[in-house]
Amino acid sequence: MSRHGRSQTNWTHHVAPAQTAFILVLIILLVCLLTNGLLTIAQPGQNPTVDLGYATYEGETVAGGINRFRGMRYAAAPVGDLRWRAPVSPPTSTDTQSAQDFGPICLGTSAPYPSTTESEDCLFVNVWAPSGANTTAKLPVWLFIQGGGYVTNANANWDGAEVVMKSGNQIVFVNFNYRVALWGFLASARVSADGALNAGLLDQRFLMQWVKTNIASFGGDPDNIVIHGASAGAGSVALHLTAYGGRDDGLFTAAIAESVFFPAQPFVPQLEYQFDRLVNSTGCADEADDDQLTCLRGLNTTTLQAQNIPFPFPGRDATPEPLFYWTPCIDGDFIRDLPYDMFASGNFVNVPLLFGNDNNEGSEFATDAATSDDMVNFLQNNYPLLTTNDTDAIVSLYPLQEPAPAIAGHAAWFPSASMAYGEATFICPAITILAAYAAAAAAASASSSSTTSDTQLWNYRYNVLDQTNAADGLGVPHLWESYAVFGPSNLDDAPAPTSYLTYDANAVPLVMDYFLSFVRTRDPNTLRAEGSPAWDAWVSSSDGNGSRIVLETNTTHMEDVTPEQRARCAFWEGLTPRTQQKKRSVELWEGHHVFGHEI
């Protein structure tokens, strides 16, 4: 009987057969939705599909029982009038779309065009998930933000199948493209008046919301998302931690950063020359200021891409060109101040962090400096506001190494230039951010009786040496650990380095399991590889300088960050009004022994 005293049989007796059939279909659909979300579990010989509301995508099942969806739109193509605007939702499609190939990556600096691999129409997302996962699975989500110095999509299309499989099919992995270079970071008051500054970062944020909204359809937990970036992706992670003044929008629950990248990040008025140069070179300068952006939006891709090239910063030498001409700017909204200032003031989202660097971060970027003047010119061409006093101090901090190390194919001052750039741009940002989190946790603990999360900070120094890198004078270069994080054969279809398949093979399960453990449990120790050493938290050091794990082949161990390196990082932090990372007065660390001598 029903609640109203009428039998179900009598009720259905009064319903027309067509209506009965319709109701049964609705019931079946409802059961499917409740059981499997919007992901259709593929039957043998069938491909999996997922209905995202605006489109249905057909992926494929690959080895290991993993569903792979590649090249799904997460935003409308940012072309025409959508150039230099915040991303918007993709158009609705009633046809099932193929998601079996990567979409083109976003046009980068100096990339040839037309191209089959790079395009303005590039806002695509890729998902790897266990087959059979449904909305009740609520698997942890690993969301990877690729790098490329904000001028290219350099880490696109890394294959997430192996990390999903090695997790025991207990995670969902996501990566994606975002606008870069001229297309993602053109800055001017004329852009903000009728568009969006930092469009590439807004793409990332839009994608995070896409994941929050849609990942349950792939078996992921929208309330358990770890963001992970490499290089500029790691710099992006830092910017999302401080976005909108450190506002927590619930888009992520922990963060991983490989080589946090802090280039010069100027305020908008300091970048008007870039916009002027663009309109002057494309014929749009003749338009009224209010119409110049409209003019640029009306140009074809070929014309604009021809101007998507690096130029010297104003007042600087033509060579060497700046490594990263297009970078994020302080827009007053998403990025409200210089990064170091945001962290120093405690304006960040408080989540567990796993940050780290390679031993020789600057070796792939530094000029082959023969003299100290060569090193100074290189640094000023990348940080153009550095003064003579600044560079004199830098030369004192990073002198000619004596006896000079024998580095194949490199001049005498290359090791100093490499170390200076690597610490200023990659290593010290990570150390300084972790110190800011630890200080905030200590302050919170001192002002209340509640427990803090100060132990949820981990740091690493990657020192797995490849003989080819050593022979080339690169040491352990930028992002070398990525082969171990994702598996040696999963980076852009590039051949696996021989070292990771032979004498450094033990580093792969060691590193991958630390990362997977953090993604799944917010602690790299919980599910670490059998026999691997415990990874102590950052705050465990006895001298307060920070503790980190040194990841090496067969000799992984803990160490404290040295006082000398902390002093060098404090020096760079003091210079950041000119490196455009922080607005603090310069304080030379007189009396500190730094890099083997006193300043």
List the structure tokens of 168. 């025991």
- Identify the H or E element spanning 559: strand 557-560
pLDDT at 544: 77
Query: Is the link from the previous residue into 495 a cis peptide, with omega within 30 of 0?
Result: no
- Give mean pLDDT, residues 522-538: 98
- The pair of three-digit structure tokens given for residue 120, joined into one six-digit string: 């303005």
Instruction: Tell me which amino acid residue 78 is.
Output: P
* Sign, Cα dihedral of 500, 503, 507, 509: positive
Which regions of 34-171 does DSSP assign to beta strands (E)?
A: 39-40, 49-51, 56-58, 60-62, 66-73, 96-98, 105-106, 118-119, 124-130, 139-145
Instruction: For residue 19, name the pLDDT band (cuts at 50, 70, 90).
Output: low
Whether residue 401 is predicted with pLDDT greater than 60 in this model: the reply is yes
What crossing angle do the helices spanning 372-382 and 388-397 adopt, rounded to 10°? Answer: 120
Judge if the upstream peptide bond of residue 17 is cis by omega within 30 degrees of 0.
no
* Cα–Cα dist 511/516, whole Å: 9
Q: 3-class SS at 211?
A: helix
Question: Can you give the pLDDT at residue 8?
Answer: 35
Q: How confident is the model at residue 32 (pLDDT cuts 50, 70, 90)?
A: very low
Q: In the β-sheet with 56-58, what is the strand arrangement from edge to edge? A: 39-40, 49-51, 56-58, 96-98
Flag the least confident range among 14-23, 233-242, 297-306, 394-403.
14-23
Number of helices and strands in the chain (H, E): 21, 19
Q: How confident is the model at residue 10 (pLDDT cuts 50, 70, 90)?
A: very low
Q: What share of the chain is helix, strand, coil (3-state, %, to 5)?
A: 35, 15, 50
Q: Verify whether residue 231 is a known catalytic residue.
A: yes
Instruction: Work out the pLDDT band at 1, boundaries 50, 70, 90.
Output: very low
Q: How confident is the model at residue 42 (pLDDT cuts 50, 70, 90)?
A: low
Predicted confidence band at 317 (pLDDT cuts at 50, 70, 90)?
confident
Split at pLDDT 50, 70, 90, the class of 589 is very low
How far apart are the C-alpha atoms of 74 and 89, rounded to whole Å?
A: 7
pLDDT, tens digit, 9 for 90 and up, residues 193-223: 999 999 999 999 999 999 999 999 999 999 9
pLDDT classification of 445: cutoffs 50, 70, 90: confident
Give pLDDT, residue 348.
98
The mean per-residue pLDDT over the stretch 494-512 comes to 96
- pLDDT higher than 90, residue 84: yes
Between CA 397 and CA 108 the distance in angstroms is: 35
CA terminus-to-terminus distance, the chain: 90
Q: What is the pLDDT of residue 493?
A: 75
- Mean pLDDT of all residues in 238-253: 99
Phi-psi region of 217 (alpha: psi -120 to 50; beta: other; left: phi over 0): alpha
Q: What is the pLDDT of residue 446?
A: 84
pLDDT-wise least confident of 120-124, 179-183, 266-270: 266-270
Residue 41 banded pLDDT, cuts 50, 70, 90: low
Can you give the three-state secondary structure of 430-461, one letter per residue? Answer: HHHHHHHHHHHHHHHHHHCCCCCCCCCEEEEE
In this prediction, residue 61 has a pLDDT band, given cuts at 50, 70 and 90, of: very high
Quick check: 286 pLDDT over 60?
yes
Q: What is the dihedral of CA 175, 150, 261, 468, to 10 degrees?
A: 80
- pLDDT band at residue 597, thresholds of 50, 70 and 90? very low
pLDDT digits (tens, 9 = 90+) for 224-235: 999 999 999 999
Q: Which residue has the higher pLDDT, 544 or 185?
A: 185
If pLDDT is split at 50, 70 and 90, which confidence band does 368 have? very high
Cis omega (within 30 of 0) on the bond before 403?
yes
What is the C-alpha separation between 496 and 248, in angstroms, rounded? 39
What is the average pLDDT value for the chain, to the nearest integer?
90
DSSP state of 226: E
Return the higher-pLDDT residue of 422 and 587.
Answer: 422
> How much of the chain exceeds pLDDT 90, in percent?
81
**Proportion of the chain above pLDDT 70, given as a percent:** 87
- Please state the rounded mean pLDDT for residues 449-468: 81
Residue type, 123: L
CA angle 287, 288, 292 (to 5 degrees): 60
Identity at 569, one-letter amino acid code = C
Is there a contact between 492 and 155 (Cβ–Cβ < 8 Å)?
yes
Mean pLDDT value across residues 305-326 = 93
Q: Which own/partner contact pairs does 58-61 have at CB distance under 8 Å and 24+ positions apart?
A: 58/96, 58/97, 58/98, 58/99, 58/100, 59/99, 59/100, 59/127, 60/100, 61/131
Q: Is 323 helix (H, G, I), strand (E, B) or coil?
A: coil
How open is the CA angle 76-80-86, to the nearest 5 degrees? Answer: 50
Phi, psi dihedrals of residue 40, rounded to the nearest 5°:
-85, 120
Nearest to 352 by CA among 461, 224, 500: 224
- Backbone phi, psi, residue 374, to 5°: -60, -45
Q: How confident is the model at residue 4 (pLDDT cuts 50, 70, 90)?
A: very low
- Give CA separation, 342 vs 383, 452, 562, in Å: 20, 20, 25
pLDDT digits (tens, 9 = 90+) for 125-169: 999 999 999 989 999 999 999 999 999 999 999 999 999 999 999
The pLDDT of 565-591, averaged and rounded, is 66
Residue with the two structure tokens 């996501």: 174
Checking if the pLDDT of 529 tops 50, the result is yes
Return all residues near 235 (Cβ < 8 A) that are at least 6 apart.
147, 150, 229, 260, 261, 262, 263, 429
Catalytic residue among 231, 363, 418, 482: 231
